Structure 1
Amino acid sequence: MNILDKRVVYDVSGTAINLSGPLKAGGEGEIFSIDESPGYCAKIFYENRLTATLFQKVTAMVTNPPDAGLIDCREKHGSVVLAWPVSLLFDSPLGSRNFIGYTMPLVDTDLFREAHSYYDPQDRIQEYGGAFSWRYLLTAAYNIATVTDDIHRHGHCVADFSGRNILIARTAAVAVIDCDSFQIRDATSGRVFPSAVGTGEYLPPELQGINFSEVRRDRYHSDLFGLAVMVFKLLMGGVHPFQAGGDGVSAFPGIEQKIQNGVFAFASPNDTIYPPSFAPDYHILPPSVRNLFSRCFVDGIREPKLRPSAGEWKDCLLSEIMAMKHCRVNTNHWFGGHLGVCPWCGRGDADLFPVEVPSRIGNVSIEVKEDATGCMDIPSHDELCQSSAISSPSPVYDVPPPTEAHDTASGLYGGEDTNSGSGNDGGRGPEDTPETPSAPAILLPEPHVTMHNLARNITIPCRLPVSVAGDGPLLIHVAADVPWIEIANTTVPVEGDGVVHVTLNTGNMGSKGFQKGRVMLRAGDIREEIFLFVSVQPEL
């Protein structure tokens, strides 16, 4: 195929744009870098792909994009999340001219890798050891749900969920590419431009075997199925929810056949059907997450309207992220707050999150990447080797790993076991403990909590770790100085390690994008404060 012989193209205003490359060639066209805007690129279609319908579809995408924070987000997050058309491109400046492509944010493929590189345990461990923990996987799932929810709120659908067009970074940020294959809704006319692609293992039963180039089907409920499959694979070691064994599935050898016949072995009452032996125990997932999977893969297998929305997934996953627990034995072991013991310990060589940093990590591109505001801060090889793990992510699209001073994510996630304030004085044994009582003190393992890009009009439970040193317990009185921090219990007795439960209600927040609040702790003359820094999505 011959591409238009152009290295200078023009935007809708007639401004010349100089291209270099191509960087990549695909089935529909080629990707070029833009000399004047290094953070963006241009997709130029092959001549035989250019149609009036394609022009109208891309025009609808440019005029009805998802929230600006997902596309033009470099100043906020330091990386692109959605490779969405920003501007139309033409072959001449003005007058009689032809549409040839569009500009879009450039996704850094050195930073973002295809999702299977993370949910496949062998690929993930080979690349990152155990440093990309279950906490990161849960955060990546939350980010995918957040992006999908925003796409849906603007009337569009991803349509082709797969491990190829959803990318993940080492920070648990996500990027979605090939956006011009989405199902797109024109916000002005209401016209829907269908998607002609789909990946079988992410398609629900009602769309299995359909030729999308011949049959037009709405893809919203299909998106909900594909999203649930992606979340399942991330949280269950790459296992597909419809992988199964046993006599009950002998007639359905392939995953797509099992989907068509509704074989979800992880919640099946049929004792002749069982999950694959290499799958993690399904009960490592919190009950709330398992409930959403049942609604999608059991209740919703024949009733698409029963499948949970992307917004429900987003809210559920965020709550579970904040309730996670941290293993005392292996720093890479994070697990659900509903469990009493670490499910990853004791697996020996089968440990999905080994504590050692692999020797290969020195060959991975882990350099500092900054935008103009220095938002991105990827850990260096030396930092990785010192900590034996990549610093913990916050549940946002892309967040700088925390500094050594304090981990800004730990207070957000909550549930972290800590030895801080255990009452030991310099490691003395019982026989060395002085008989005189020691003065009590409130210790705050995480005096600062930062949350980014939260949706408006949602409530988020949050666990704030608090410890008491010296003679206890202390009866701590809890208050807040802003209306969006709601206190669960105004008095909390704490002896040793404890926790204060609060709820963030973003519906009570003002119009500002970034806000600060305080949780104030008082016990007699003792005063301490926990600061919460929260940014919320812009009002539509």
Structure 2
Amino acid sequence: MTLQPGSALTGLRGDRYILGPEKGKGGEGIVYAVKNKPSLAAKIYKAPNGMLERKLKCMVDHAVSPYIDGKLMLAWPQDVLYSNGRFAGYTMPLVKDVSPIYVLCRNNPDHVNDCHTLFPTYRWSYSVVVAYHLAWVVDHIHKNHYVLGDMNSNNIVIHKDGSVTILDVDSFDICDPVTGEHFPCTVGLPEFLAPELQVPDLRRAKFSEHSDDFALAIHIFQLLMNNYHPFNSRTLSEYKRSTPLNPQQMNIVQGNCPYVKQIPNVTRPVGAPSLQFLPARIQTAFRTTFNYDEINALSRISSRVSADMWRQLLYDLYERIRKGEMKVCGNNPEHMYFPSHGGCPFCLAQQAAPASGSGASASTAPPPSSSVTRSVRSGSVTRSSPAPVSGSGKKAGRLSFFKSLLS
């Protein structure tokens, strides 16, 4: 079928949708604005099929609220679209005025300007805010008995208040509670996949809440640790001026995380901060999730720290920041640290890097050219400045709590 701006489609209950301008495209399809329903976007598949149709019907019939405390957290399917009776795609909330999460790649020069455009007064607490919101939305999804599956940095976008939205929700791993049909996730980026998912064919892999917890821990680690990936490392015997990194997938399979245990001839990349500057309970959470080896990896899957526990740990960190327990670095106002832990861990790590600045770049975030296409599949990706956060502030975790952290 050939659909374009102006084409009319019909929903499950007879609602009419007129395609507006194209918003983005990817390998699976094209995202359009919906001309007669401006709060929605429509994804039109290049190769629609019966399994996708059944999956989307299931997601519409057993919907998760895309909003938490009034903030759009999920680009969840709202209706299934048909053109002349043939399945074509689905509608979802239009995601706008957002930036991909990799703009917080603080050690990646390609994205520093993007970060400053989104957050002109960026400091480390902003990354903490984003980490909290990410844990919050993953917990929300798990409490509704869904599995994200492909939780990579292309599918997560940030709003100017530090909240996040998950895109590409149609790739979730779900099971129809009525028919029992399983709609598996079959895609993922290796650097965010748990060891049990490091297989040649993801169609044979088993995604779970625990594999989501592993990916979430990687994202939180990168946000708190200046975007250094927990499984990037440096081989001591080969180090000269540049830093050769061990293959990331192999490190994930073998459990080679130099931040949580000692590994012969392996250490963290030059320029990476020590885990010791974080609160003890957060250090323990990373060790619980990343301290395994090839032999015991499968037996420790269920021991990973859950999204709900991460949410609580990060909230506790927010409380300490709010109370003024962390100090803003005198050399770089983007850095924050606990005075009781010594000097600024980020400055100390940077001082240890080679003078030429060619130390280990642990960034694994994709460059904009390879990721914007997927990021815009659920809406437009733009840059915006931070603004005061709104919200009721009636309970722990409300967005209004973070106003002071984003000012």
The answer, yes or no, to whether TM exceeds 0.5 is: yes
Amino acid at match of 2:200: I
TM-score normalised per structure 2:
0.77
Q: Is 1:91 the equivalent of 2:83?
A: yes
Q: Deviations over 1:365-392 (max 9, x none)?
A: xxxxxxxxxxxxx75xxxxxxxxxx56x
TM-aligned CA distance change 1:39 to 1:339, over 3 Å: farther
Shift of 1:127: 3.0
Q: Is 1:285 the equivalent of 2:278?
A: yes
Shift of 1:162: 1.1
Q: Is 1:451 the equivalent of 2:397?
A: no
Q: 2:98 aligns with which of 106, 112, 120?
A: 112
Q: 1:147 aligns with which of 137, 156, 164?
A: 137
Shift of 1:197: 0.3
Q: Map residues 193-342 of structure 1 onto 2, 5 A cutoff.
A: 193-213=183-203, 215-246=204-235, 253-299=246-292, 301-302=297-298, 303-324=300-321, 325-327=326-328, 329=330, 332-336=334-338, 339=341, 341-342=343-344
- For 1:65 and 1:318, how far apart are their aligned partners in 2? 27
Q: Is 1:126 the equivalent of 2:113?
A: yes
Q: Relative contact order (alpha carbons < 8 A, sep ≥ 6): 1 or 2 greater?
A: 2
Amino acid at match of 1:327: V
Shift of 1:261: 1.1
Shift of 1:238: 1.2
- For 2:111 and 2:13, how far apart are their aligned partners in 1? 46
Which stretch of structure 1 is more off in the superposition, 295-304 or 244-253? 244-253
TM-aligned CA distance change 1:289 to 1:171, over 3 Å: same
- For 1:239 and 1:533, how far apart are their aligned partners in 2? 28
Q: Deviations over 1:163-194 (max 9, x none)?
A: 11111233211111111011123233343310
Residue of structure 1 in register with 2:50 after alignment: 52
CA contact (8 A) 2:148 2:172 kept: yes
The number of equivalent residue pairs is 353
- For 2:61 and 2:307, how far apart are their aligned partners in 1? 23
Amino acid at match of 1:451: G
CA contact (8 A) 1:295 1:308 kept: yes
- Report the identity percentage: 27
TM-aligned CA distance change 1:232 to 1:244, over 3 Å: same
Amino acid at match of 1:298: N
Q: Which structure has the larger Rg over C-alpha atoms?
A: 1
More helix by share: 2
- For 1:253 and 1:345, how far apart are their aligned partners in 2? 25
Shift of 1:103: 0.8
Shift of 1:272: 2.0
Q: 2:91 aligns with which of 91, 103, 110?
A: 103
Amino acid at match of 1:318: Y
Residue of structure 2 in register with 1:184 after alignment: 174
Which stretch of structure 1 is more off in the superposition, 287-296 or 120-129? 120-129
TM-aligned CA distance change 1:246 to 1:4, over 3 Å: same
- For 1:195 and 1:22, how far apart are their aligned partners in 2? 26
- For 2:87 and 2:340, how far apart are their aligned partners in 1? 55
Residue of structure 1 in register with 2:147 after alignment: 157
Residue segments in structure 1 that go unaligned for 5+ positions in a row = 351-377, 380-389, 394-398, 401-407, 409-449, 456-512, 515-531, 535-540
Q: Deviations over 1:49-96 (max 9, x none)?
A: 2222111100111122223524xx7xx34xx3211101111224xxxx
Residue of structure 1 in register with 2:21 after alignment: 21
More strand by share: 1
> What RMSD, in angstroms, separates the aligned Cα atoms of the two structures?
3.2
* SS of match in other structure, 1:175: strand
* SS of match in other structure, 2:153: coil
- For 1:452 and 1:327, how far apart are their aligned partners in 2? 28
Shift of 1:22: 2.2
